Amino acid sequence: MTTTDPSPTAARSGASATEAFRASRPQGTGTEVSAERVSAVVQAVLSGVHDAIRRTKVTYPEFQGAKQWLIEVGESGEWPLVLDVFIEHVVEEVAADSQHGTQGSILGPYYLPDQTRLPSVARLPMRSDEKGTALVFTGQVRNLDGQPLAGAELDIWHADDDGYYSGFAPHIPNGNLRGVVVCNEQGRFEISTIKPAPYQIPPDGPTGKLIDAAGWHPWRPAHLHLIVRAPGFRPITTQLYFEDGEWLADDVAQATKPEPVLHPQPTDDGRLHARYDFALEPLG
Ligand code: DHB
Ligand code: FE
| Alpha helices (H) along the chain | 8-24, 35-56, 60-76, 79-86, 88-96, 206-214
Domains of the chain: 9-24+34-284 (2.60.130.10)
The percent of residues above 70 in pLDDT, for the chain, comes to 95
Would you say the CB of residue 208 lies under 6 angstroms from ligand 1?
no
| Confidence at residue 244, expressed as pLDDT on a 0 to 100 scale | 87
Would you say the CB of residue 81 lies under 6 angstroms from ligand 1?
yes
Would you say the CB of residue 85 lies under 6 angstroms from ligand 1?
yes
Residues 16-60: tens digit of each pLDDT: 999 999 998 877 666 689 999 999 999 999 999 999 999 999 999
**Side chain identity, residue 15:** A
In Å, how far are 26, 79, 106, 143, 213 from 232, measured between CA atoms? 22, 33, 22, 10, 47
The pick from 21, 81, 217 for probing ligand 1's pocket by mutation, whose C-beta has the most ligand atoms within 8 angstroms, reads 81
What is the pTM assigned to this prediction?
0.94
Residues 62-82: tens digit of each pLDDT: 999 999 999 999 999 999 999
The pick from 86, 110, 172 for probing ligand 1's pocket by mutation, whose C-beta has the most ligand atoms within 8 angstroms, reads 110
Blockwise average pLDDT, block size 10, the chain, 284 residues: 48 84 79 93 98 98 98 96 98 97 97 97 98 98 98 97 96 97 98 98 96 98 98 97 95 96 96 98 93
Distance CA 8, CA 143 (A): 44
What is the residue with the minimal CA distance to atom 11 of ligand 1? 81
What is the residue with the minimal CA distance to atom 9 of ligand 1? 81
Cα(61) to centroid of ligand 2, in Å?
Answer: 34
| Confidence at residue 1, expressed as pLDDT on a 0 to 100 scale | 40
Would you say the CB of residue 233 lies under 6 angstroms from ligand 1?
no
Would you say the CB of residue 88 lies under 6 angstroms from ligand 1?
no
Cα(39) to centroid of ligand 2, in Å?
Answer: 32
Residue 116 near residue 181 (C-beta atoms within 8 A) = no
Distance CA 174, CA 171 (A): 9
Provide the pairing of β-strand 265-266 with 272-275.
antiparallel
Which atom of ligand 1 approaches the CA of 165 most closely? 4
- How many helices (H) does the chain have, and how many strands (E)? 6, 14
The pick from 199, 201, 211, 219 for probing ligand 1's pocket by mutation, whose C-beta has the most ligand atoms within 8 angstroms, reads 199
Ligand nearest to the CA of 84: 1
Which atom of ligand 1 approaches the CA of 223 most closely? 6
Cα(110) to centroid of ligand 2, in Å?
Answer: 7
The residues, any chain, with a CB within 8 Å of residue 181's CB and separated by 6 or more, are 118, 119, 120, 122, 153, 154, 156, 189, 191
